[in-house]
Chains A and B, each alone.
Chain A
Amino acid sequence: MSEQAFKLEAALKIHLLLVDDEPEFKEVMQKHLSRMGIRLSLSECCLDALGTLEAHAIDVVIMDMNMPGMDGIQCLKKVKERWPLIEVIILTGHASVKSGIEGMESGAFDYCLKPIDVRELIEKIELAAQKALINQEDAAS
């Protein structure tokens, strides 16, 4: 199977969780991802996201850094600590070198800046999906 096809197929196999408190952004993403056939859950904040992660087998999380309640980096650390196989893409409208590196050191798959082109984000989701499935395969073998 080619890389392109593998990435797309991986994205179709996963369950994605989008954690963001911006309704417009969630709406746009929901429209695009459902059209592609990607299974998606939504959360408003970190606390809500942790509940969703307990209840469902999530593979990839897209998380905004600035949300009400828990800070994005703290939330990322909690997710990676409890579910190390999950890949997390950090999104932020407030770019900073410090938070970018903190995010990567805390195990983020990628750190992306808002506003982001939907196609670019989908490309990142596909790559993260591919990585998450490999993580699961490696853990199983």
Chain B
Amino acid sequence: MTIINRILTTLRRFLRPTSAPPLLSPEELQRLFTARYRSFRELLAANTNTLEAMAELEKALRDGRTLSMTFIRSRCTLVTVNVYKIIHNLNKIADGRYSELERIFSRLQQSIETLLAGNQGRTEGDPVLDLERIGRAQADLAGEKMANLGEAGSLAGIRIPPGFALTAVATRLFFQRNQLYPKINHLIQQMDITKLEDLHRKSMAIQEMIRNCPLPPELESLLFDHFDQLAAVMSGLKVAVRSSALAEDLGQASFAGLYHTELDVGRDTLASAYKSVLASKYTPRAISYRLAKGFRHEETEMCVGFLAMIEPAVSGICYSRSIGGRGDTLDLFFAPGGAKGIVDGTRSTSHLLMERTAPHRIVRRLEAEDALGARLTDAQAVSLAEIGMQLEQHFGAPQDIEWSIDPAGTLFILQSRPISTSPFVATETDQPPAQEDERVLLHGGVTGCAGAGCGPVFIVHSPEDMLHFPKRAVLVVKHPLPEWAPLLKRAAALVAETGSEAGHLATLSREFGLPSLLALGRATEILTNGETVTVDAAHRAIYRGRIEELLHDNGKHPNLMEGSPVQQTLISVLKLISPLNLTDPASPDFHACRCRTLHDITRFCHEKSVLEMFDFGKRYHFDKGAAKRLRDNLPLEWWLIDLGEGLQPHYDIRSPDIAITDIACPPMQAIWEGMHAVAWEGPPTAGLRTMVSFLFQSAVHNGLDPSRTSALREKNYFLISKNYCNLSVRLGYHYAMIEAMLGNRPVDRYITFRFKGGAAGEDQRIQRIELLAEVLEQFDYRIERIGDALTARVERETEQFVVDRLKVLGYLTIHTRQLDMVMVDAGARQFFRDKFIQEIEEMLNHE
């Protein structure tokens, strides 16, 4: 748009006839003015609530901390409800002239709802599928585990047990027929995940509910028909009933051992085993894992596989790339009988480290002491290595493969999934600790996850013990069972008497970056509860006390939420909520139709509500409610409206401007005094780097330009009465708000200061918020800070105390203007903090 066009647009706007307000009596005008002021107050409260909830969402994303869909849904609800209130109240203040916003809001609200609802229940297909009909293409229907297994079975030379799967369609049929979804969602939304007791109680209630529901008759008959067809060709058929949830067995989240598997299931217990596996989606360990890794309950639908049992002579795990860190080798872990004892860590396990390339030479052989009978010939080991490499090549990533060999020597693949991707490896060092180091309490075992952790010992024998597990304690257990998984996020290290690197809990410890040491015999006897120890998992030793030098090398903890579905949902909804495009009220783009996010609407409405309030007197020819411009020497505009008894009796109400001596409002006078106590040096000079960043933002945000005179000519607004003052003062993109009451009773004396955002980059905005918080805290303000949103309060203090704190705010509103431009580092913050504190102290002592 050319300059001439802009001028013409502006002129047209001024010349456009506006609807004439109705003629009202003075009493009616006063009533109308009061009603609008109430709406204005409601709008300001909703504005604060919106910005706070928004800041909580932004902070959660930035911190990468664990966040649940319940949290995201509740904050999004608060934001939308409050933006609704903002629009509603603005339209009340402005005689409905911003109804256009309702349409924009409605569109944003619906988009947010759609994103929060996710894509549950979209896959269609058969409720039951034979395993031979399942491949990777059916992953959304049969779950990851069955999809991978079916696909593996289709490859030449690989044998899998025969079987079938009840798909996500069957699960939905079961849940919908029994109306389970709303009941479960209700319990999950009310769950306090930080309290293990609550988690256990609600988890049990959900599982019980699922187990007690009947199977829909058509589903039951499909289940039995498929079992009977299999039994017709396999006499004495028993099946393994295995979980195969959607999104289970992915590289970034293994869900290792979190769901239930039931072995040796016959026809009579088929339905109950199915329901038990469905219910296992809601065990405490599964719920807390999904939460920690950012998976949505509703999108991890449980599918169930029914695989014919084979009699295992020897079973084990093959990692097609060694988890010990040697990239040219693969691991084979094995034990006699089934694989259950290996993955739940209750059995001693033999280990072969083999070369990945043919002829797959054995690099190291470690026989478990009690592994007698685990006969794995070298030829079988080589076959397993070949299959491991074949599966890795087929699936395009290193695989974690579960296998069994029957007494006839036939090899069956039971599972193949990507190895859990984690920078934390199960490395062990060749240098055990010095024997003479008297601080060593225990040494030996195998490294589950390298690293070191320190904390008090807490031995867990039972689920009841879990409820008392303190944060950052060292978790010590006899067997590394998957049921201890909810404690991994709280623990400083894990120690177990049995187990191997191949166990489920060891896998999870690597995902969580938790140092773990396994197969350390007598750990529960030698370690005592409460004693502080340092676990050096890489060097396989436990030391008495805290050993700082061992803890130094610990890397950062992984961001468990990174790339997760919950984080993706948060990022998507924040795109509709958080970005601020409407930054400069003087820009022609500052218009309702330009609002693209809820933040834009909030910002737009706040600006317009203040203008509407200050336009009331002129619009309705109501002198008492008319805005007056304050005469002042600062290069800023100050406007004022009297809500009642805030002006000196001698003041002529028809005058268009006003002097501070005409004011009879002590809180405003105190703020004003603080503003003028120390001469302002003008906006600070920004460094080159900041200017570059700022110019970039100016290019992104239309109309933002620090050199514009409008940046200094911005209007600031006081609403006052005898004891009350509400100041909207521009400190950046947003108004900062000061609300103060200075009455006779303690309950009537308070100050609230609220501020969010600024014009510069995020780091600088945070630096300025930190600076404001530090100075205000120095002068006795109670601070609440969420991201770049700050609230500071003083309440129920003496009159002089409140007056002095208002002066502090007055000083800061002037001297921190545009300061975010130069807040490039903590050094700048410290410089200004010291300067401000010194000048404020001088100001307060001067009296």
Contacts and interface: CB of A to CB of B under 8 A. Distances in A.
Given A95-B77, A96-B73, A113-B74, A5 B747 contact: yes
A2 B743 contact: yes
Contacts of A3: 724, 741
Interface in B717-754: 723-724, 741, 743, 745, 747-748, 750
Contacts of B84: 100-101, 104-105
Interface string A26-44: 0000000000000000000
A97 B80 contact: yes
Nearest to A98: B113
A68 interface: no
Nearest to B188: A94
Interface residues of B, number: 29
Contacts of A5: 743, 745, 747-748
B835 interface: no
A74 interface: no
Given A4-B747, A95-B70, A134-B38, A100 B186 contact: no
A111 B748 contact: no
A101 B81 contact: yes
B109 interface: yes
B631 to A, nearest CB: 29
A121 to B, nearest CB: 14
B724 A2 contact: yes
Interface in A1-30: 2-5, 8
A101 B81 CA distance: 6
A94 B38 contact: no
B80 to A, nearest CB: 5
Per DSSP, are chain A's interface residues mostly helix, strand or loop, or mixed?
Answer: helix
Nearest to A114: B190
A111 B81 contact: yes
A84 interface: no
Interface string A74-101: 0000000000000000000111111011
B116 to A, nearest CB: 7
Interface in B30-50: 31, 38
Nearest to A90: B81
Among the interface residues A95, A104, A105, which one has the most CB atoms of the partner chain B within 10 A?
A95
A52 interface: no
A114 B77 CA distance: 12
A93 B73 CA distance: 11
Given A94-B186, A95-B73, A101 B80 contact: yes
B506 to A, nearest CB: 37
Contacts of B723: 2
A101 B109 contact: yes
Interface in B246-286: none
B85 interface: yes
Interface string A102-135: 0111000001011000000000000000010010
Nearest to B116: A97
B764 to A, nearest CB: 32
A141 B27 CA distance: 12
B667 to A, nearest CB: 12
B77 A97 contact: yes
Contacts of A103: 81
Contacts of B70: 95
Interface in B620-668: none
Interface string B78-102: 1011001100100000000000000
B81 A2 contact: no
B179 interface: no
B605 to A, nearest CB: 15
A118 to B, nearest CB: 17
A32 B831 CA distance: 47
Contacts of B750: 4
B112 interface: yes
B190 A93 contact: yes
Contacts of A131: 38
B74 A95 contact: yes
B751 to A, nearest CB: 13
B189 interface: yes
Given A2-B723, A2-B741, A3-B741, A97 B186 contact: no
A78 B80 CA distance: 24
Contacts of B116: 96-97
A104 B723 CA distance: 33
A140 to B, nearest CB: 13
A93 B190 CA distance: 6
Given A3-B724, A104-B88, A94 B747 contact: no
A110 to B, nearest CB: 8
Nearest to B49: A110
A4 B741 contact: yes
B185 interface: yes
Nearest to A8: B747
B745 A111 contact: no
A96 B81 CA distance: 10
A111 B84 CA distance: 11
Given A2-B743, A134-B38, A94 B85 contact: no
A98 B109 CA distance: 8
Contacts of B743: 2, 4-5
B76 interface: yes
Contacts of B31: 141
B604 to A, nearest CB: 19
Contacts of B189: 93-95
A101 B743 CA distance: 37
B77 A100 contact: yes
A4 B113 contact: no
A96 B190 contact: no
Given A2-B723, A93-B189, A93-B190, A113 B78 contact: yes
A104 B741 contact: no
Among the interface residues B77, B78, B88, B724, which one has the most CB atoms of the partner chain A within 10 A?
B77
Interface in B130-187: 185-186
Contacts of B80: 97, 100-101
Nearest to A108: B81
Contacts of A100: 77, 80-81, 84
Contact of B113 (A94, A97, A104, A111): A97
A40 B80 CA distance: 30
A4 B81 contact: no
Contacts of A134: 38
A95 B113 CA distance: 11
Interface string B18-35: 000000000000010000
A113 B76 CA distance: 12
Nearest to B34: A134
Nearest to A103: B81
Interface string A46-82: 0000000000000000000010000000000000000
A122 B826 CA distance: 40
B584 to A, nearest CB: 30
A46 B462 CA distance: 44
Contact of A111 (B73, B77, B186, B741): B77
A103 B85 CA distance: 11
Contacts of A95: 70, 73-74, 77-78, 189
Contacts of B38: 131, 134
Among the interface residues B31, B81, B748, B750, which one has the most CB atoms of the partner chain A within 10 A?
B81
Interface of A: 2-5, 8, 66, 93-98, 100-101, 103-105, 111, 113-114, 131, 134, 141
30 contacts: A2-B723, A2-B743, A2-B747, A2-B748, A4-B747, A4-B748, A4-B750, A5-B745, A5-B747, A8-B747, A93-B186, A93-B189, A94-B186, A94-B189, A94-B190, A95-B70, A95-B77, A95-B189, A96-B73, A96-B113, A97-B76, A97-B112, A97-B116, A98-B113, A100-B81, A101-B80, A103-B81, A104-B84, A113-B74, A134-B38
Lowest 5 CB-CB distances: which A-B pairs, in order?
A2-B748, A95-B74, A95-B77, A100-B81, A100-B77
Given A2-B724, A3-B724, A96-B77, 6 more contacts: A4-B750, A93-B190, A97-B116, A100-B77, A100-B81, A113-B77
